[in-house]
């Protein structure tokens, strides 16, 4: 059972769920592409030493890419974002857990930060500003404008 579903209060309903954007895998994807290019390069080089170096580079980059992929998958799978009719819930982590919950009535403003790439691919950072000056940035969230709208909707 998801964390959000376990912590719902009686009568509380989830209005919006979100998750981290798929671009959290970008480093691992780029590393695996480099590994594939090194591996492909071994077929076009005649020198045995260069072939061996490219093969070693492909294996090392492949292992690094797979480890990075697993890390990103765990991070994405263990992060939960939800807006209920009473509060905003943000949870991340598997073994060590970080949670942030803020009553919707205590949210003063919701800022959305998107780079050009974020606007193109649909991801960004949502910064919740609560009463008392507390800040809670939520980075790399998919569809940040929809998430913001769910928070600010009356």
Pairing of strands 80-84, 14-18: antiparallel
CA 81, CA 61: separation in Å to the nearest integer? 32
pTM equals 0.84
Q: Do 84 and 15 touch, CB atoms closer than 8 A?
A: yes
Q: Could you read off the pLDDT of 76-104 as tens digits, one per residue? A: 999 999 999 999 999 999 999 999 899 99
Q: Could you read off the pLDDT of 124-144 as tens digits, one per residue? A: 999 998 887 777 789 999 999
* Structure tokens, 21: 């954007």
Q: Do 14 and 83 touch, CB atoms closer than 8 A?
A: yes
């Amino acid at each position: 059972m998801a964390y959000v579903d376990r912590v719902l209060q009686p009568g509380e309903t989830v209005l919006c769920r979100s998750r981290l954007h798929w671009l959290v895998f970008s480093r691992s994807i780029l590393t695996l592409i480099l590994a594939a290019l090194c591996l492909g390069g071994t077929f076009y080089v005649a020198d045995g030493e260069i072939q061996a170096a490219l093969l070693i580079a492909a294996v090392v980059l492949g292992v690094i890419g797979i480890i990075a992929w697993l890390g990103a998958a765990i991070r994405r799978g263990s992060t939960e974002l939800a807006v209920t009719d009473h509060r905003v819930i943000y949870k991340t982590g598997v073994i060590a857990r970080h949670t942030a919950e803020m009553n919707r009535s205590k949210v003063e403003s919701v800022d959305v930060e998107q780079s050009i790439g974020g606007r193109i691919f649909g991801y960004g950072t949502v910064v919740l500003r609560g009463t008392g000056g507390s800040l809670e940035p939520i980075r790399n969230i998919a569809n940040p404008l929809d998430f913001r709208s769910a928070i600010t909707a009356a």
